Amino acid sequence: MEKHWLLSIYMILFSIVISKAQHLPAYQIFTAKGKKTEFGKILKAAEKADVILFGEFHNNPIAHWLQYELTSGMVPKRKLILGAEMFETDNQDALNKYLSGEIDQKGLDTLARLWNNYKTDYKPLVEIAKANNLTFVAANIPRKYASKVFREGLESLETLPDSEKQWIAPLPIAYDPELPGYKNMLTMMGDHASENFPKAQAIKDATMAHNILKYYLPGHLFIHYNGAYHSDNYEGILWYLKRERPDLKYLTISTVSQKDLKKLEKENLRKADFIIVVDENMTTTY
């Protein structure tokens, strides 16, 4: 009898160990203050927001999956406008033609400068817009102009013809070199630091903010997908948005990577209203 009882205990303990071993959480969501929360809380907050800046790691499948879940979850609840860093302003016409059915995917591939991971990571979001007749904004500055700023400074954009300035935020843009995010970019570059490096980032931030507000409509929710650094710590795009429309309700989401999902690391606190912590061993999309 005692042997059977011990065997039963061992079997129960073994089952518990196996169960825990099989439970490998891929991510954990935290509030800005580091309190664990659930995806449902993001959905509830989204119902009250005017603009969401969803900061991602471009090659992170968890971030892309949650972007899709957030967007599809809001379709029946809010009037939506979508937009992304991954589309440049001079590709708006091609994107519109695809959404309206005027061209197919092959046509979009030909006419627009799509990122290499478009089909796996961003096409699902575009398809939500297409299926629901939503506007999808090509929000980012064409890369050649950001490169021009990196080489020659913000002043170089003033020499462009008006036909090209239409793709950029109205000039001159406000620029604060003392913002921590921009200062940190210089630190990261070390000896190769160039004062134009954060300026190239700023013209991207300013242009995306300009296009978000250009297409935003009262009573709608604008969901914008961008690299986390463009909106982390309530800077970047958000800094420009608040300069023009401090009255709107903004919600920010960031993506970070950690070894331990149990606690939000100090350096990741207050990066956004919600921080998605992804296991550092998570596979990438490229």
User: What pLDDT does residue 22 have?
Assistant: 62
Q: What is the pLDDT of residues 52-108, one digit of tens each?
A: 999 999 999 999 999 999 999 999 999 999 999 999 999 999 999 999 999 999 999
**Strands across the sheet containing 36-37:** 36-37, 27-31, 274-279, 250-258, 51-56, 220-227, 79-88, 135-140
Cα 107 to Cα 95: distance, rounded to the nearest angstrom: 10
Evaluated on CA atoms 266, 269, 274, 280, the torsion sign reads negative
For 28-279, the fitting CATH number among 3.40.50.11550, 3.40.50.620, 3.40.190.10, 3.40.605.10 is: 3.40.50.11550
pLDDT exceeds cutoff 80 at 13: no
Q: What percent of the chain has pLDDT over 70?
A: 92
Q: Which residue has the higher pLDDT, 246 or 2?
A: 246
Q: Which pLDDT score is estimated for 193?
A: 75
- Return the minimum-mean-pLDDT range out of 5-14, 89-98, 110-119: 5-14
Is residue 167 scored above 90 in pLDDT?
A: yes
For 168-220, the pLDDT digits (tens) are 999 999 999 999 999 999 988 877 779 999 999 999 999 999 999 999 999 99
Encoded tokens for 204: 């991207």
> What pLDDT was estimated at residue 263?
97
Task: Give the rounded percent of residues in the chain with a pLDDT score beyond 90.
Answer: 89
When mean pLDDT is compared across 7-16, 50-59, 251-260, the lowest value belongs to 7-16
- Residues 28, 15: Cα–Cα separation, whole Å: 25
From residue 46, alpha-carbon distances to 55, 78, 164, 220 in Å are 15, 9, 35, 11
Average pLDDT, the chain: 93
Query: 43: exposed, middle or buried (C-beta count within 10 Å: 0-12, 13-18, 19+)?
Result: middle
Q: Which amino acid, 93? A: D
Q: pTM value? A: 0.91
What tokens were used for 87? Answer: 């589309």
Whether the per-residue pLDDT at 1 is higher than 70: the answer is no
Average of pLDDT values for 119-143? 98
- Taking Cα atoms as reference points, which of 73, 68, 56, 125 lies closest to residue 276? 56
